[in-house]
């Protein structure tokens, strides 16, 4: 055993001299225990690799999706015309996959990528006003390693948190059509299945809330959406044990008008962390 009480793995290394003699000196009970531990560790490692593979496949499926013609044309068009401030940049202009910690206990769902934010940078809430409001709060609470999100390669990592949206392509006027939300729901379902550790879902805005509720109805977790009323701070324990929290969306429309301030937003995430057992 080492100083932390972990088994001395070198004892079982085929390269270790005197291996056979020392192994014989162990009681058979200890050998069984260590073999069992080794199998458990191998099982965990295999599950972890499988999960990463599923998330990688999902990443591919989302970024190559062309199902909504209107949205794909709009995103590509934005990438060609570009905003004056970003004229020198190459826009992502593809569907934006979720990102974060594969072991996340909290899943944040937004509406859709911003036309010049995530549609430009390729990562949710990165490079726009909503992210400028959200990430400092997440960082202060220890859920993000940096207070600012500017690019996919900026080194920002999330802890115990996954961020995505119910629609993966930027919609004109931030208004996806109902059939576009339905088209994209398969990606959301696959993502939720790939994140089994999630205990709390935080929906940013009513469209994300309704999108998640539609998933719950389709998967048979709830019967009707009407029993779950959106509001800032709304909280429901769902039949499958996950807690649903509502927050106003951190769009400039809400944060510039004072409808949503930093304290209100932070309170939702403190609550999420408490429920998820992170504080
Ligand atoms: S919104 Fe979703 S379903 Fe539609 S094209 Fe984009 S990724 Fe595909």
Ligand 1 center to 17 CA (angstroms): 58
What's the pLDDT tens digit per position in 137-188?
A: 999 999 999 999 999 999 999 999 999 999 999 999 999 999 999 999 999 9
What's the pLDDT tens digit per position in 236-268?
A: 999 999 999 999 999 999 999 999 999 999 999
pLDDT of the residue at 4 = 34
What's the pLDDT tens digit per position in 227-238?
A: 999 999 999 999
Ligand 1 center to 167 CA (angstroms): 6
Ligand 1 center to 12 CA (angstroms): 51
Ligand 1 center to 184 CA (angstroms): 5
- Assess whether the C-beta atom of 67 lies below 6 angstroms from ligand 1: yes
DSSP state string for 22-62: HHHHS-HHHHHHHHHHHHHHHHHHHHHHHHHHHHHHHHHHH
Question: Which atom of ligand 1 is closest in space to residue 183's alpha carbon?
Answer: 3
- Assess whether the C-beta atom of 168 lies below 6 angstroms from ligand 1: yes
Domains plus CATH for the chain? 50-275 (3.40.470.10)
Contact in structure between 154 and 145 (CB atoms under 8 Å): no
Number of H helices, E strands in the chain: 9, 6
- Assess whether the C-beta atom of 62 lies below 6 angstroms from ligand 1: yes
**Alpha-carbon distance 31 to 25, whole Å?**
10
Contact in structure between 165 and 208 (CB atoms under 8 Å): yes
Q: How many CA atoms lie within 13 A of 253 on its CB side?
A: 7
pLDDT of the residue at 37 = 75
Ligand 1 center to 225 CA (angstroms): 23
Ligand 1 center to 121 CA (angstroms): 17
pLDDT-wise least confident of 29-33, 213-217, 254-258: 29-33
| Nearest CA owner, ligand 1 atom 3 | 184
Query: Of 172, 169, 182, which Cα lies nearest the Cα of 210?
Result: 182
Residue 10 has pLDDT above 60, yes or no: no
- Assess whether the C-beta atom of 68 lies below 6 angstroms from ligand 1: yes
- Assess whether the C-beta atom of 180 lies below 6 angstroms from ligand 1: yes
């Amino acid at each position: 055993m080492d100083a932390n009480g972990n088994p001395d793995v070198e004892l079982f290394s085929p390269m270790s001299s005197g291996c056979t003699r020392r192994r014989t000196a162990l009681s058979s009970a200890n050998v069984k225990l260590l073999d069992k531990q080794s199998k458990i560790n191998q099982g965990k490692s295999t599950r972890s690799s499988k999960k990463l593979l599923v998330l990688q496949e999902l990443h591919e499926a989302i970024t190559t999706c062309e199902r909504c013609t209107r949205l794909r044309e709009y995103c590509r068009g934005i990438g060609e015309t570009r905003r004056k401030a970003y004229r020198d940049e190459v826009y992502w202009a593809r569907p934006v996959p979720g990102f974060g910690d594969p072991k996340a206990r909290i899943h944040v769902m937004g509406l859709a990528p911003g036309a010049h934010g995530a549609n430009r940078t390729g990562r949710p809430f990165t490079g726009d006003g909503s992210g400028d409001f959200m990430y400092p709060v997440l960082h202060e609470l220890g859920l993000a390693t940096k207070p600012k999100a500017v690019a996919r390669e900026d080194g920002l990592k999330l802890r115990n948190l996954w961020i995505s949206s119910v629609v993966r392509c930027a919609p004109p006027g931030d208004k996806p059509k109902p059939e576009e939300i339905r088209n994209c729901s398969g990606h959301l379902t696959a993502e939720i299945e790939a994140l089994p550790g999630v205990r709390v879902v935080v929906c940013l805005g009513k469209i994300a809330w309704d999108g998640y509720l539609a998933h719950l109805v389709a998967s048979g977790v709830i019967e009707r959406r009407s029993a779950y009323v959106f509001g800032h701070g709304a909280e429901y324990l769902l039949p499958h044990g996950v807690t649903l929290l509502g927050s106003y969306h951190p769009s400039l429309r809400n944060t510039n008008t004072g409808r949503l301030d930093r304290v209100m937003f932070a309170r939702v995430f403190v609550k999420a962390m408490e429920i998820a057992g992170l504080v």
